[in-house]
Homo-oligomer: A and B are copies of this chain.
Amino acid sequence: MENPDTSNQQKVAAPAAAAEGGGGGEEEEQQVVNPWEVSAKDGGKIDYDKLIDQFGCQRLDQSVIDRVRRLTGRPPHVFLRRGVFFAHRDFNEILDAYEKGQKFYLYTGRGPSSEALHLGHLIPFIYLQDVFRVPLVIQLTDDEKCMWKNLSVEESQRLARENAKDIIACGFDVTKTFIFSDFDYVGGAFYKNMVKVAKCVTLNKVVGIFGFGGEDHIGKISFPPVQAVPSFPSSFPHLFSGKDDIRCLIPCAIDQDPYFRMTRDVAPRLGYHKPSLIESTFFPALQGENGKMSASDPNSAIYVTDSAKVIKNKINKYAFSGGQDSLEKHRKYGANLEVDIPVKYLNFFLEDDDELEHIKTEYAAGRMLTGEVKQRLAEVLTEMVERHRLARANVTDKMVDAFMAVRPLPTMFD
C-alpha cells in the first residue's frame, strides 16, 4: 500500500476544490466536511459511513471498544460505547503502546471564536477529563480565529482565556495539563517544527485538502502547520524533552481530520510518529441533524451560560421532534428516533444506559410522549450546565495562569 493518507486526500480534494471553482464538473456531488464547512448531500444528514471512506480513516468498531474495556478494566466512556467517537486512525497503535506500558500524550484544541461554549464544544473535553491518566496539551488557536473570523489579536486572546476557563471547569488536572494560546506560545521549537512541516506541504496539496482559493489570504495557507505541530512531542521541550519518541493521540471532531491527514502524511518525512486519532460525529443543532451548530444562531445550540429557563425554552421550542403530529398517531406509530433531537442529545449526555434504553423503547413504541422526553432532557442538561457553571465560577485567573504556564509537568506520567 503506497500511502493511504495521500490517496485519500485526493478523493477529498475534489469537492472542496470544486467549491472554489477549481475542480471539474464531472464528480458526483459529495458531502463536504472540512474545518470550515460541513454540508451534507442535498441538505440531508451527514453520511458518516461514507465519510470514513472519503477520508480513508478506520471505523471505531466493537472490537476496538472491547479492547479498550479489556485494557482499562472498566466500561468504556459513553462517547465510545454509543458511537460518538465513530472513526479513528491508528488508535490500535496507542492501545499497543498502552498495553506495553509505554507512554503517550493527548492533544486536542479549541478555536476561540465565541465568548461562551456550547455543549458540542465540550465533547472532547468531557471525554478526556477522566479517561486516561496521561499528559494532555490543549491548543487554543486564537491566531486561527483572528484570521478567519477577522477578530483583533486582543479580542482573540481574550476569548482564548475565557474559553480556557470553560475547559478548566470540565475538571482537568493541572499537574498533567498544559493549555496554550498560539499567540503566546508560537516560537522556538514549536516554530521550528512549523517550518519543517511547511517545507513538506505544497500549495497544491493544501488547496486539495482545504479548498483554499486565490482570494484567500496567506494567513489561512500558513495556518495548517500551526495545528499540525502539537502532534509532535518535540514542539513542547518543557514537557517532553528527552521523550521525543512518545506517541500522540488526538480526540477531535471529524471535521478536523484534514489537518491531521496532512500531519500524518508529513510526520514520517520528519522522523516523527504519525499521530493517532479518534474522531467524533458532530453534535447536532437543535433544529435537526443536517450539519453543525451555527454560532450566528444562538437558538441552534445550548450554551454553558444558558439558564434553566432558557434551556427548557430552547428545547421545547426548537428541538426537532421525531414524535407524531397528533397524540393518536403518536400512540399508534411511535416516535422516529432517527431524526429525534432530544433522544440524540440524551444519547450524548444521559449516562445511565438502562434509562436511555428505556426511554428509547417507550418513545419508539409511542408510550412515551415528546414532552416527557424533552422534560427529561431539560433536566439532564440543566444539571450538567449548572454543574459547569458552579465549577467555572471557581476558576480564577490564577488557575488559568497555572494551566497556561510554560513549565515542566514532573508528575505527568504518574
Q: Does A218 contact B (CB under 8 A)?
A: yes
- Please encode chain A, from 167 to 191, with 1 for each CB lying within 8 Å of some chain B CB and 0 for all others: 0000000000000000111111001
* Chain B residue, CB-CB nearest to A212: B203
Q: Is A192 an interface residue (CB 8 A)?
A: yes
Residues on B with beta carbons closer than 8 Å to the beta carbon of A198: 147, 217-219, 222
Q: Cβ of A146 < 8 Å from any Cβ of B?
A: yes
Most buried by B among A191, A216, A218: A218
Contact call B187/A186, Cβ cutoff below 8 A? yes
Main SS of the interface on chain A?
helix
Copies of this chain assembled into the complex: 2
Chain B neighbourhood of A196, CB < 8 A:
153
Residue A214 lies at the interface, judged by CB distance under 8 Å to chain B = yes
Residue of B nearest to A201 (CB): B218
A260 vs B268: C-alpha distance in the bound complex, in angstroms?
36
* Of A212, A214, A215, A225, most B-chain CB atoms within 10 Å: A214
- A202 interface hit (Cβ, 8 Å): yes
Chain B residue nearest to A198 in the complex (CB): B219
Q: In whole Å, how far is A20's beta carbon from the nearest beta carbon of chain B?
A: 11
Task: Say yes or no: is A40 at the interface (Cβ < 8 Å to chain B).
Answer: no
**Is A375 in contact with chain B by the CB < 8 A criterion?**
no
Smallest Cβ-Cβ distance to A152: which chain B residue: B196
User: At the interface, yes or no: A18 with Cβ under 8 Å from chain B?
Assistant: no
Cα–Cα distance between A388 and B198 once the two chains are bound (Å):
37
Query: A200 in the interface, Cβ–Cβ < 8 Å?
Result: yes
| B218, A206: Cβ atoms closer than 8 Å | yes
Smallest CB-CB separation from A196: which chain B residue? B153
Q: Is A384 an interface residue (CB 8 A)?
A: no
Chain A contact-residue range equals 35 or more
Q: Is A199 an interface residue (CB 8 A)?
A: yes
Contacts of A204 in B (CB 8 A): 214-215
Q: How far is the CA of A163 from the CA of B201 in the complex (A)?
A: 29
**How many angstroms between the C-alpha atoms of A219 and B147 in the bound complex?**
18
Shortest beta-carbon distance, A206 to chain B, in Å?
Answer: 6
Within the complex, the shortest CB–CB distance from A406 to chain B, in Å, comes to 11
Q: How far is the CB of A22 from chain B (nearest CB, A)?
A: 10
| Closest-CB distance, A157 to chain B (whole angstroms) | 9
Assess whether A217 is in contact with B200, with CB atoms less than 8 Å apart: yes
Question: What are the residues of chain B within 8 A of A221 when measuring CB–CB?
Answer: 203, 218, 221-222
Which residues of chain B are near A206, meaning CB under 8 Å?
A: 218
CB of A211 within 8 Å of the partner chain: no
Q: CA A29 – CA B212 in complex, angstroms?
A: 31
- The verdict on A213 contacting chain B, using a C-beta distance below 8 Å, is yes
In the bound assembly, the distance between CA atoms of A295 and B35 in angstroms comes to 43
User: Do A214 and B202 have beta carbons less than 8 Å apart?
Assistant: yes
Answer whether residue A224 sits at the interface, using C-beta atoms and an 8 A cutoff: yes
Complex interface bits, A207-236 against B, C-beta within 8 A gives 1, otherwise 0: 100001111111101101100000000000
A143 within 8 A of B: yes
Q: Which of B153, B185, B201, B213 contacts A192 (CB 8 A)?
A: B153
Among A143, A191, A206, A221, chain B packs the most CB atoms within 10 A around the CB of: A191
| Inter-chain contact A217/B191, CB cutoff 8 Å | no
A195 within 8 Å of B by Cβ?
yes
* A201 engages B214 (CB within 8 Å): no
New A-B pairs, 7, CB < 8 Å, besides A147-B195, A204-B214 = A183-B192, A185-B187, A202-B215, A203-B212, A203-B217, A203-B218, A207-B214
What are 27 A-to-B residue pairs whose CB atoms are below 8 Å? A146-B199, A150-B199, A153-B196, A183-B191, A183-B192, A185-B187, A186-B187, A186-B191, A187-B187, A187-B188, A195-B219, A199-B217, A200-B217, A201-B217, A201-B218, A202-B218, A203-B213, A203-B214, A203-B216, A203-B217, A203-B221, A204-B214, A204-B215, A218-B221, A221-B222, A222-B222, A222-B225
- 7 interchain residue pairs of minimum CB distance: A187-B187, A198-B219, A222-B222, A204-B214, A199-B219, A186-B191, A153-B192
